Amino acid sequence: MITLQTHDIETVLTNYVSKNILNREDTELIDFFQPSGGWSDEAYVFTLSWKENAKWKKQGFVVRKAKNGGLTFGEKDLYPQYGILDELSKHSSLPVPKVYIFEKNKSILGNEFFVMEKLEGASYVPWSKEGRAFFQKAAKGDIPKQFVRYLADLHTLDYESLDLSQSLFKGSRVDYIDFKIKELENVYATFKFMDDPIVVDGIEWLSVNKPEPIPLSIIHNDYRTGNLMYKEDKITGILDWEAAEIGDPRMDIAYVCAKANRMDSPLLSYLIEKDTFFMEYKERTNLEFSEGDIFYFEVYHQLKFLMISLSAANAFIKEGSTDLRMARQGFRLTLMKNMLAELLGY
Amino acid sequence: MFDKSYTLQLVNKVIKEEIIPSLNSSVAKEQAIAMISVLKSVDVNSEQNLKPYIEVNELLQTELTRILDSIEKSINGISGNIQRYQIQLEQVKTIKNVKKKWEKLNNLLSEFITELYQMPENTQTFIDECRTLLRKQLDIEMSLVG
């Protein structure tokens, strides 16, 4: 594997985008940064400028690259994410970035990557001081309505009319939940250090309490306030589509409700009251679901959060990852188990 | 939880190879270099905290024995399986190594919970009893989270 320093990455990406997207050689890099975060993928954000008809023009780009040794949950494949963004940016009104190119040649940047449009606006970590202040204000404006509307629009999109990667399909309407339970079991079997009775209880509970299946739709699977971009009183972008799939829409609804995505806030995802969210979502989708259904998928998500901690612990102990966030997350495994136990009533 | 020496050695590796080269302030560099030395000393001057594991082992041994006895008396026709768990539990009780015993007890309890869910009889009462036990176990193990 090649390791590039920041300066090399700047040069490589400037040349790559100039040649393959802008089709010119006279570009200049005017800003470049690597956002922190990136548990499973890495991102680079930069702006190029050039002179055209005696005027300076500029364009922003974002590169998303698969990360070696990051957190994994199932198969790691960047292409479906590129594919779904391509389809949604062309065939929906959702604020998703336009994608330009998918590069399979790993020798350029050390792994596969794709280039997409840089959207306007900013994103916020909801539990940070800045994020809390932003969402406290945003909750009083139009953003909560847009938050519901975009989720409802995604779920009511006719996915069969789109050209989506087969890897996004995780079973049929009837066996989707079985597929997801099996996926959890496989991740658990891969990363566990020993049998854990709380995880076993959670998985068995999911197996015997499955809700009736409903029609599937495109689901984001990580739809939370921290994965959106905002400008003034508008949501300007929906990001991080790496977990998107054709699945049960109640999965996304429960994710919005998950305690891990609101912690001590009385509002779902730090943004909206539960009753308002349910009412507006149902009005827009005509989808019926019970609180019990949503609870079921909340348990699923809590188990998934737990598996992510387990995967992090595995990366730290067995793979010797020097990303200390893995160690921190691994130590939090007990906290994740505690949250699952509390959710299940003990 | 994770081995103390392994964790501290890895933290030192990150400070040395990733944090120090990216520091621009000579004061911060000096502090980070000192931190490596301090963490090495903390490692050799402290022991892995095994107390919560010992507590959990005692709890699981006692409570599992009681639950297995209780289920044996309550549900007819499955005594064979229960006896198998009782025998396994007696074997685990003889293990001296604290962490190994903790692992074996967790394995046994996991296997038992799976079996409770799969039994044709109504076993909810026993699942609830196991959950009460798991809550007590969690309360002890939460002391290991910083």
Class in CATH terms, A129-343: alpha beta
B101 CB neighbours in chain A (<8 A) are: none
Residue of A nearest to B140 (CA): A334
According to the model, what pLDDT value does residue A2 have?
53
A10 vs chain B: nearest CA distance in angstroms?
18
Residue of B nearest to A201 (CA): B113
Ranges assigned E (strand) in chain A:
28-33, 41-52, 55-66, 99-103, 113-117, 217-219, 228-231, 234-238, 245-247
How many other C-beta atoms are found inside a 10 Å radius of the C-beta of residue A309?
A: 22
Q: Is the domain of B36 the same as that of B106?
A: no
A314 vs chain B: nearest CA distance in angstroms?
11
A151 vs chain B: nearest CA distance in angstroms?
36
Contact B110 A334 (CB under 8 A): no
Q: Is the domain of B88 the same as that of B130?
A: yes
CATH number of the A6-117 domain = 3.30.200.20
Pairing of strands A217-219, A228-231: unpaired
Encode pLDDT of B117-131 as tens digits.
988 888 899 999 999
- The strand order across the sheet containing A113-117 reads A28-33, A41-52, A55-66, A113-117, A99-103
Q: Is the domain of B39 the same as that of B20?
A: yes
Amino acid symbol at B64: L
Instruction: Walk along chain A (346 residues) and give the pLDDT tens digit of each residue.
Output: 455 666 789 999 999 999 999 999 999 999 999 886 566 688 999 999 999 989 999 999 999 998 765 566 655 789 999 999 999 999 999 999 999 999 999 999 999 999 999 999 999 999 899 999 999 999 999 999 999 999 999 999 999 999 988 888 888 888 999 999 999 999 999 999 999 999 999 999 999 999 999 999 999 999 999 999 999 999 999 999 999 999 999 999 999 999 989 888 999 999 999 999 999 999 999 999 999 999 999 999 999 999 999 998 988 888 888 888 888 988 999 999 999 999 999 9
- For residues A205 and A229, is the Cβ–Cβ distance under 8 A? no
B107 CB neighbours in chain A (<8 A) are: 194-195
Residue of A nearest to B107 (CA): A195
According to the model, what pLDDT value does residue A165 have?
82
Q: Which residues of A lie inside 8 Å of B (Cβ-Cβ)? A: 194-201, 204-205, 207-208, 313, 316-317, 320, 322, 324, 327, 330-332, 334-335, 337-338, 341, 344-346
Closest CA relative to residue B128, chosen from B141, B113, B107, B140: B113
Q: Is the domain of B59 the same as that of B110?
A: yes
- Size of the A and B interface in Cβ pairs below 8 Å: 77
Contact B109 A332 (CB under 8 A): no
Q: Is the domain of B29 the same as that of B96?
A: no
Q: Is the domain of B81 the same as that of B10?
A: no
> How far, in Å, CA of B104 to CA of B90, rounded?
11
Q: Give me the number of domains chain B comprises.
A: 2
Helix (H) or strand (E) holding A132: helix A129-138
According to the model, what pLDDT value does residue B1 have?
73
Range of the domain at B119: 51-144
Q: Is the domain of B108 the same as that of B139?
A: yes
